[in-house]
Amino acid sequence: MISKYDPKKDGPLDRFIKLTDAARILDYAHYHSVVKMIKNGQLTAYLLPHVIRRRVLLSEVIKLKELKKNKHSDVSVSKRSRGRPSKY
């Protein structure tokens, strides 16, 4: 989802960062993962005046990273059986 920044709706100005910087913060190898998150609606992309490329808010990226970190810490490790699974 791409929207323009509206100070009344979006609140005080936060720092806009590039998609590649967001990918680095989220520990992704490439910015395409961030593009997929924008298409899925997990992140909001903004178009700034006189800037061609999309940007995301740093605060949204940090919130998403914290959610990702909490999600992985809650998962308990289950014991797997040994060997290869059978086809049938």
Mean pLDDT of successive 10-residue stretches along the chain, which has 88 residues: 65 81 93 94 91 92 87 60 69
- What range does the domain containing 56 cover? 2-62
Residue ranges in the chain assigned as alpha helix (H): 7-10, 19-25, 32-40, 58-74
Number of domains in the chain: 1
Angle at the Cα of 19 from the Cα atoms of 13 and 21, rounded to 5 degrees = 85
| 12 part of a folded domain | yes
Using a 10 angstrom Cβ sphere, with 0-12 exposed, 13-18 middle and 19 or more buried, the burial of residue 77 is exposed
| 10 part of a folded domain | yes
pLDDT value at residue 74: 57
pTM of the model: 0.66
| 53 part of a folded domain | yes
Find where tokens 């190898």 sit: 29
| 11 part of a folded domain | yes
| 40 part of a folded domain | yes
pLDDT value at residue 71: 76
Q: Using an 8 Å Cβ cutoff, are 19 and 54 in contact?
A: yes
